[in-house]
A and B are shown apart, each in its own frame.
Chain A
């Protein structure tokens, strides 16, 4: 069904009245060809083991070092400093590969105060810019403003995917079954001659189409007759989801022959969905960062998996020729304590970091700072230098930048979800 016909049908049936408000088109400066990937390190990562390294100098309060690795082993490439592996953990070289490959594109934002050590509040704050409940994640917001009528506009593999009903998140990981779904009436997706329900060029003899038409008419009758708004809304959502654009077969053609597991598979599907005009934003997730015990042995391999996944994501973006159109943001619930507990673990800490690369991001930069004990330092809003009279960065500052970069800050939808802080230009 063409969009014009589809919208006409909605209008005729009165269904548009039951759509979520943002479905009604609004003028805005947002670019529907700009794609967004939010990579969530689930459980609370440790920036001192990654992009805000401190080393093994002993703390003055007797709580030992921030890290086990030696301070003089801290590595750097360009302006980016990054953590070495401690001697106790085998280094697969993934950190070196990641930071040398992407240094020129990478923005590191250190010293972000999430103001919580609760997983749910921290994750919400990281990805919506506010710890208040009811705030949609950025990925949902940008999808709602720029391309809400795409069939799977916001792909989510978890993380923070609250949408406040602006759009519906779509799950697309963990399946090699796209071909079957792209051709639902073919027993064998590769054989166009065989169908479950007979199809015919003459629409009056097209059994499959007759059934689909009858089903749509029945759903329209149900919507018209339904007296409860809640049920009527659900019916309308079903109608819209069934009759929107469906480029699944295009997506299938853009997927690799064998979809990878874990975050790499999530990345492959997300980028194929961007390339086939099916989605504009995606949440990717890599978990296992909540290392209350045995931190170094557990956390460094998780970080390596995460960076390896982001590397794969960037390769997929390049493979599809989307390098100048995709922005990638990597973050987590919060940080981890700048000292080890009795079980060699690290507990929750409100200060953390975030990394960005891709479209609209000026690379080889580090913004924000922490002291030797991993406390957030205030920065001057103009110069971005450390300034005791300045401000401490929060997720709200990051999201103001994301909204501006996406061109959605003036949208009426975005204005419904205001952010409190004044704007600080982090992206350069």
Chain B
């Protein structure tokens, strides 16, 4: 046995946790345990059934009585699997006759009803103790955790019953309806002695199937309980860590010796690496980043900073709103209650008490409760309304209830007045007049008019933060090719003129004005 090979985490646990570890252990080796148990017990059960065909009760009793004998096989498998030496199915079955030999009679007779059977079995089977030595060992081991072993047996009995009943009822549920009709409970009860033998054998078989699942778990739980007790008694976890520590320390000592030897053997070689040049740091401005710069030109850093701050202070970079609410006025200094008021108050209280006495009948109480309940109901409705107000708002919108009016579109873009009132009646005509003398004013007027129309006719959500190209993109989203080509041409020439001071070609006047008339003038202004 080498503790470092153990396939479970060794540490002292509580008794219940030790049982849980047993469940996990049985689960890891479930295939092998179930198969070996089934291969042993099912033939024995078949044999008993054949021998005692007329007495199914006795057959299952004999099978049940032999349980301690079968339990030795799972323990053998688990004990070997614990230290990584899991036997194959064949090996395990071959080992069975040898396992049965020691103290089988005792296990099957006077120790059959021991509640700590699973906990005691490892002492017998793995430590090979018998007689006086065994009982002394059991006394030592049983100082703690024996209670858990008894509870394990008690719970196990009930689990077997529960699982058996579950299987029986499953079997009953799965019967086809036609057969079920023929079976009445009474005939079952009457026939218990007679022709329903096979049914009893069937229910016995279900018990055998239940044991295939539960017994390996039971044995594993007893085994881990035993392991846990020995871990606590002998400090297995401590031994494990001490051994690892010793290995580490002595290993380190050898490695150090070896390393020293190697170092002494080797002569030091000169260092050949180049010197690392220092990376030049940027010169620091002694005045700091905030200091005033560029003071000898019209746009100094201070002026730029100022205008940046102003811009950042306006929407859309800054969102401000003014909230107006009602609130209580200034608190008046509390007036001293005068004598009259006090006496009046006392009188009122007296009246109130009298009234309360008067009300002290069932009706008043009922009325009170009614009012209370109504108030609660109203409160609940109000609360629900408040809680789901957004949902209600969505719903109200569907029903066509008045919505909050949309905010009026902004009336100034790029510093240009775009209200319809500020534009002349006949935009195209005015532009044609202005074109020769003031081309800038003409194009500006046309562009303003376009923006105004976009705002009012097409309801584009323009605001003063939009750039010309953003406006163009919005126009393209309208998917009207004529409008967008017009807007593109106009915007291009307006930008050329406004920012580049390049005059538009003269023939442009005609095209733009015609386009304008075609696009907008045949429509009635909304």
Q: Do A and B come from one complex?
A: no
- List residues of A whose CB falls within 8 A of some B CB: none
- Spell out B's residues near A (CB within 8 Å): none
